[in-house]
């Protein structure tokens, strides 16, 4: 497994008067260098030993649970292929944001990515179901739905857009952080909250009387610190890694969205792989996803302790309290069901699984 970093290195050669600019550094562990991003516009390229190299990009920070899961996937691919397949993992938006990387997959200039489901809603309305709040009763229901026929049917709808889904990784539940105590939907009235730029994410909080505002993650800490916004919502891993808890008084475990992240391959790349190579990716993805989900739970425990140690309070909603938030967000379900034929039936299928859990 190889993890790459993009860097700009400028050196002035006084004797020659030459400025050298490199777009990527070398891998210190191996001493091998890599081509620049501009030069490396090819996917599924051959490595120095004539093995195949696949590039995988994502937007989360290095060390995030999802990032660790993708590193595990790369490790398993290399192991199962006996080194003939190598996955290079590029974290932290090094190859662009989710929109840019999705376009690269469609063109075949990037092999793989692991975006949020919200970033894929423009390609198929079915994928938006995973951004409907309070959709899953618990982790067991979420995993059964994502790994089963429902999740596979939603994934298959992406094929015509150029994406082949191997599995659904996760960052865990998205929770609310706020400067005031929140235990009922009415407590959200008048609160300015940062959300992702997603129709259903925004409608969810606006339904409570809050004012939802999309904002880049890089701007959120300062906006919270300066009072431009009062609240935000993210999985624990992002709440801690971005230190949002430092400028918030409460974390409220709304668990409003189970943050699924499809591990996807460009269909152009997929078409170049042999059956054996496809099987290796599928097996590695399945094993890495199980490992990553367990890692998320471990990280949540550590993250919660870090938050409590800082003095920020954590509010754990009861089942009845969470049900009240679900009821108050009914208009989001109505909007989703009206958006496309089959959406109402999709919700009903998911509810049937929830009822068994």
Q: Tens of pLDDT along 16-75? A: 333 333 333 333 333 333 333 333 455 677 655 578 999 999 999 898 999 999 999 999
Q: Could you identify the residue written with the tokens 């400025």?
A: 19
Regarding predicted confidence, which is higher, 323 or 11?
A: 323
Phi, psi angle pair for 154, to nearest 5°? -65, -40
The string of pLDDT tens digits covering residues 241-280 is 999 999 999 999 999 999 999 999 999 999 999 999 999 9
For the chain, how are helix, strand and coil distributed in percent, rounded to 5?
A: 45, 25, 30
At residue 4, the pLDDT reads 62
Q: Please give the Cα distance from 105 to 2 (Å, whole number).
A: 20
Phi, psi angle pair for 51, to nearest 5°? -80, 170
pTM: 0.86
Hey, CA dihedral for 129, 185, 330, 204, is it positive or negative? negative
The string of pLDDT tens digits covering residues 278-299 is 999 999 999 999 999 999 999 9
- The contacts of residue 230 (CB under 8 Å, 6+ apart) are 178, 179, 180, 191, 192, 193, 224
For the beta carbon of residue 328, count every other beta carbon within 10 angstroms: 19
At residue 342, the pLDDT reads 93
At residue 40, the pLDDT reads 43
Residue 9 has pLDDT above 60, yes or no: no
At residue 218, the pLDDT reads 87
Averaged pLDDT for residues 68-85: 98
| Span of 13-17, 231-235, 311-315 with lowest mean pLDDT | 13-17
Residue 15 has pLDDT above 70, yes or no: no
Averaged pLDDT for residues 226-231: 98
At residue 49, the pLDDT reads 59
At residue 2, the pLDDT reads 67
Q: Please give the Cα distance from 36 to 33 (Å, whole number).
A: 10
Regarding predicted confidence, which is higher, 151 or 18?
A: 151
Q: Which of the residue ranges 4-18, 35-49, 333-347 has the most confident prediction, judged by mean pLDDT?
A: 333-347
Phi, psi angle pair for 104, to nearest 5°? -65, -40
The whole-chain average pLDDT of the chain stands at: 89
Does the domain at 41-356 match CATH 3.40.190.170? Answer given as yes
At residue 22, the pLDDT reads 33
At residue 44, the pLDDT reads 75
The string of pLDDT tens digits covering residues 152-178 is 999 999 999 999 999 999 999 999 999
């Amino acid at each position: 497994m190889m993890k790459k970093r993009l860097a700009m290195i400028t050196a002035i050669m006084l004797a020659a008067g030459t400025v050298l600019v490199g777009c990527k550094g070398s891998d210190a562990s191996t001493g091998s260098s890599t081509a620049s991003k501009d030069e490396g516009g090819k996917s599924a390229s051959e490595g120095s030993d004539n093995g195949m190299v696949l590039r995988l990009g994502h937007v989360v920070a290095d060390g995030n649970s999802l990032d660790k899961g993708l590193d595990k996937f790369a490790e398993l691919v290399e192991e199962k292929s006996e080194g003939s397949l190598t996955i290079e993992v590029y974290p932290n938006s090094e190859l662009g944001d989710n929109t840019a990387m999705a376009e690269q997959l469609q063109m075949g200039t990037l092999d793989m990515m692991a975006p949020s489901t919200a970033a894929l809603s423009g390609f198929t309305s079915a994928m938006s179901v995973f951004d409907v709040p309070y959709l899953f009763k618990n982790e067991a229901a979420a995993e059964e739905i994502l790994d089963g026929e429902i999740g596979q049917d939603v994934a298959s709808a992406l094929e015509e857009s150029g994406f082949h889904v191997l599995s659904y990784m996760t960052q865990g539940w998205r929770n609310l952080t706020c400067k005031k105590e929140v235990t009922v939907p009415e407590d959200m009235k008048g609160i300015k909250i940062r959300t992702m730029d997603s129709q259903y994410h925004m409608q969810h909080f606006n339904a409570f009387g809050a004012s939802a505002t999309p904002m880049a993650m890089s701007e959120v800490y300062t906006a919270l610190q300066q009072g431009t916004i009062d609240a935000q919502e993210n999985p624990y891993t992002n709440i801690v890694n971005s230190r949002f808890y430092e400028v918030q008084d409460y974390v409220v475990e709304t668990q409003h969205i189970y943050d699924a992240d499809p591990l996807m391959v460009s269909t152009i790349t997929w078409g170049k792989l042999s059956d054996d190579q496809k099987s290796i990716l599928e097996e590695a993805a399945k094993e890495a996803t199980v490992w990553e989900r367990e890692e998320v739970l471990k990280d949540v425990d550590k993250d919660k302790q870090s938050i409590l140690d800082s003095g920020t309070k954590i509010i754990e909603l009861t089942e009845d309290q969470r049900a009240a938030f679900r009821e108050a967000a009914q208009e989001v379900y109505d909007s989703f069901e009206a958006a496309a034929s089959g959406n109402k039936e999709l919700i009903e299928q998911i509810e049937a699984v929830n009822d068994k859990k």
